[in-house]
Structure 1
């Protein structure tokens, strides 16, 4: 087994944190929001709530002693001051909590984005891209909402309820007991509805992630969709996800439609009971009219927060569900780019020794591979589709670790080198030549952490035979290439990819049949550019067409994950039956059939 650091494990992480409140608050804390800001926000919120508790008492005194003669300017100013103080404290609390929530949102997205970039390729073999995007966009927003929008309502609601009940007990315990009969009744109704709402919310999150995955997949490959006349099929897939979300939204609406009138009825019944019973007590002199008004106001301050508290717990459960998925991603083992030694300056051969590999628990892709890639020479990989050529490239780039055997650079396992140092030695030009949305300049210098001069840029463009078409474009190097470079032709994209590889000045070059998708004119130009790129470098080529590798210093023939032949073109034609058959079909050697 290879003893290299974890650079591309395909196994899921184990021992993930349990899904609970502690995990939720731990995740929020990892975003490093400002705790003083939270304390200030909750303090202002508490001030607004406490001030609100004294408003009914003010009202009681006004009602009991109301007359135009008794109404003084001081009382009016004091009451106005209370309302202004409450408004200012509430406004500051809302602003600070929103900013606190945005800090959490930004912090979590930053953590997840970095994690996703450093996860090994094996993670993306198991997870759909749309689902991962949903974790960064939707799930983080759910966590933010529970803190910035619901936490203050929960805290204030508890204080409002407790404070109101304490004051009411001091005013008249008998009427307070009548009022409190409605609290367990309301909770008995709201809690089951809250649990149903929680289940619906979690299902909506999952369906939203699924729909995001479908949309991302389809829109990223929209040309394939159109060329295959698959619009109706993909429309049905998207419509199915939309319909499921609609159904869940309707179910959520039904519960909300039940909760709102129910709360209205409960409040109305309490109002009737308090006004009726209170009116009786006012008439016999047990309480004053002002106390009855205060009771009604305190009743509102008890019943209304119940909805906020229920909403908080529903949103918290929703956020805990989102936390589970985010913590699952954060628990994955990421690639370690820094640990290890730098690749030595001296060129060495690359040796593959007893190399075997399979994806997860699937069938063996490479089985006991042994051969040497000599430095400063061209080695070609040839063989039927599915023989393991591309997987071998992935192992050389350390996207995955082999299950047994190892790859050596000179006498040292490549796992002893840091990932950043090893991958900086490799230039890769693929069949597709992927480009990032942006300008030609940005794509050529992509991944470099140093300034690139105009002279360097023009030099590598000239060697890649890209300067001609770039100069003809109105904006030259500042030309936008479009999403995935679709504003350029295949040959132009290939030449930009070659210029990018030249700028990196790699010692090891990996070409995945870089000319197979081009027309004959573009192929000739790109092949000349590749010849410039290959000069003096250790080069490994995946060849689907033998015409591109007949002059290779060494050809390795792979069949079903095993090396069945090594040699030059002439040697394999003479000694390897299947290679000879490939040559007869592709190179049309009539003499080979004799």
Structure 2
């Protein structure tokens, strides 16, 4: 019905005055460009907002679950400062999203009004010259609603759906995760202990690399300590050894054989692992 309303309105505009109809219809591509421009920005902001809200929830859960540890080290002020920083960033993203949405609605709403003003000025001038009638001008203004009404509705719908698309991208990322392959590969009876990283790179988000071009070899019986500040990839390195994640680039070898050729469960059974987080399973 909206499409028929739009086509009927456009036809009547051309019938009443084709010159003003051309001016009025030229506004529509401008609305399309405005929607495309603001939609991309709103989708990015919606995605960033959801990621930041997840970060805030993670920080809150982490702090509440480690209350005794935080008190033991007198880290209350530092923890509160971190939580407030995360909340401020989430608020900043939210305010930016509201600003962009308001500007988008203002732009989409003002374009039809510019067209109506042009029609009113030109129509009034032609009426004074006797080239047009007041009834035709009023009818033309009325049929503008037939054209701009559906266009404005579609533009608003296109903007509002960006939040849903951002959420869908986050859900789709879960379905893109490849499940672990168990029960296939070479079963591990014993490991001699030789480990080799061959140009291993890894990133959690496919944008910022955590490890980049790591190459090293650990001989059997050799003791190696990996030290560094928080966030440099020490835990990630061990997670790659246990094949919790797959390297983005490169390979990890055990005893002269790529790790991907071993049966996963038997490989993990031959690796001693002490987690950095304390957890007792009943």
TM surpasses 0.5: yes
Separation (CA, whole Å) in 1 of partners of 2:170 and 2:268: 32
- Residues 1:216 and 2:61 aligned together: yes
Q: Shift of residue 182 of structure 1?
A: 2.4
Equivalent residue, structure 2, for 1:23: none
Q: Which runs of 5+ in 2 are unaligned?
A: 182-187, 196-237, 244-263, 271-278
Q: Give yes or no for the alignment of 1:402 onto 2:281.
A: no
Instruction: Kindly state the Cα deviation for residue 330 of structure 1 after the two structures are TM-superposed.
Output: 2.4
What is the deviation of 1:311?
4.0
SS in 1 for 2:74: coil
Of 48, 51, 59, which aligns to 1:203? 48
Q: 1:310 to 1:431 in 2, by over 3 A?
A: same
Q: Which runs of 5+ in 1 are unaligned?
A: 1-45, 50-157, 337-352, 365-399, 407-429, 434-594
1:373-430, CA deviations, whole angstroms, 9 ceiling, x for partnerless residues? xxxxxxxxxxxxxxxxxxxxxxxxxxx7222789xxxxxxxxxxxxxxxxxxxxxxx8
The 1:261–1:324 alpha-carbon spacing in structure 2 relative to 1, beyond 3 Å, is closer
User: Pick from 224, 235, 240: which aligns with 1:361?
Assistant: 240
Supply the distance in 1 between the matched residues of 2:109 and 2:155 (Cα, whole angstroms): 15
TM-superposed deviation, 1:308: 4.0
Do residues 251 (structure 1) and 130 (structure 2) align? no
TM-superposed CA distance for 1:316, in Å, is 4.4
User: Number of paired residues?
Assistant: 206
TM-score in terms of structure 1 length: 0.29
Q: Deviations over 1:87-108 (max 9, x none)?
A: xxxxxxxxxxxxxxxxxxxxxx
Distance 2:100 2:240 in 1: 45
CA–CA distance in 2 between the matches of 1:332 and 1:263?
39
Secondary structure of the 2:240 match is coil
Distance 1:226 1:317, change over 3 A: same
Cα pair distance change 1:170/1:223, threshold 3 Å: farther
* Higher RCO (CA < 8 A, seq sep 6+): 2
- Does residue 167 of structure 1 match 2:31? no
Structure 2: how far apart are the matches of 1:269 and 1:355? 78
Which residue matches 1:500?
none
Contact 1:161–1:301 (Cα < 8 Å) also in 2: yes
Distance in 1 between residues matched to 2:152 and 2:19, nearest whole Å: 25
The answer on whether the counterparts of 1:218 and 1:234 sit within 8 Å (CA) in structure 2 is yes
Secondary structure of the 1:354 match is coil
Offset of residue 162 of structure 1 = 4.0
Change (3 A) 1:160 1:247: farther
